[in-house]
Amino acid sequence: MATFEERFLNKLKELGGADEAVTNNAMRAKLGWKPERYEQTKKSLFEKKLITLAQGAGGKVRLANGAPVAPKALKVFISYAHVDETIMLQLLAHLKPITKLGLVDHWYDGKIKPGEKWAAAIKQKLNEADIVLLLISVDFINSEYCNEVELKDALNRHAEGLTEVIPIIARNCLWHDEAFGEFQALPKNGQAITSWPDRDDALTEVAKAVRARAQDLIGKKVN
Q: The pTM is what? A: 0.71
Q: What is the pLDDT of residues 148-175, one digit of tens each?
A: 999 999 999 999 999 999 999 999 999 9
For residues 38 and 85, state if they share a domain. no
Count of domains observed in the chain: 2
Cα–Cα distance, 204 to 208 (Å, whole number): 6
Q: Which one of 23, 39, 63 terminates a domain?
A: 63
- Domain end position, chosen among 26, 44, 63: 63
CA dist., res. 179 & res. 21, Å (int): 49
- Cα–Cα distance measured from residue 223 to residue 209, given in angstroms and rounded to the nearest whole number: 21
We report the CATH number of the domain holding residue 27 as 1.10.10.10
pLDDT digits (tens, 9 = 90+) for 100-132: 888 899 999 999 989 999 999 999 999 999 999
Domain end point (choices 21, 36, 63): 63
Same domain assignment for residues 134 and 194: yes
Q: Is the peptide bond before 97 cis (omega within 30 degrees of 0)?
A: no
Residues 33 and 111 in one domain: no
Amino acid at position 47, single letter:
E
Same domain, 102 and 178: yes
3-state secondary structure of 214: helix
Interatomic CA distance for residues 69 and 32, integer angstroms: 19
Whether 80 and 155 share a structural domain: yes
Residue 87 belongs to what domain range? 74-222
